Amino acid sequence: MFFFKKTVEEKIEKWVEDRNANKLIKMATTDNNHVNRAKAYDALGRVRVKECLETLLDCFKLDETDIVRHAAARGLAQLATRKEFDAIQHFIDDEQNPKVKEALKVALLEAKERTPRW
């Protein structure tokens, strides 16, 4: 009998489906592989729980990897509300990478239109 190990993508999709924010947050914040962290941050926006939003915002204070920050900005675009507008604007002002800055601008526009849920 053969057992196949799930890929990172399969694990992440299962966690999103199950709304398992804790596993996504753990991968996003502790995985040694920046690609895995980026995939987890990107998925956090689809889970839509408060803890995910806090983790996405913390990424810009804690992770200096551009691909990870870009993924976190995409996650913010899916989840952030007007309540996070000032924080996102601050991140835009401080961001050096043009692609990350552009993704943050998209998140800012999306946040501006969304009413806070928490």
pLDDT in tens, 37-87: 999 999 999 998 889 999 999 999 999 999 999 999 999 999 999 999 999
pTM for the whole structure: 0.91
d(CA 100, CA 69): 7
The token pair that represents 61 in the structure block:
């204070």
- Rounded Cα distance, 32 and 28, in Å: 9
State residue 2's pLDDT score.
63
Residue spans per domain, the chain? 9-113
Fold entry, domain 9-113: Leucine-rich Repeat Variant (1.25.10)
Buried b (16+ CB within 10 A) or exposed e, 55-94: bbbebbeebeebbbbbbbbbbbbbbbbeebeebbeebbee
| Mean pLDDT across the chain | 93
**pLDDT value for 1:** 57
pLDDT of amino acid 118: 63
Q: Which long-range contacts (CB under 8 A, 24 or more apart) does 1-9 make?
A: 8/36, 8/39, 9/39
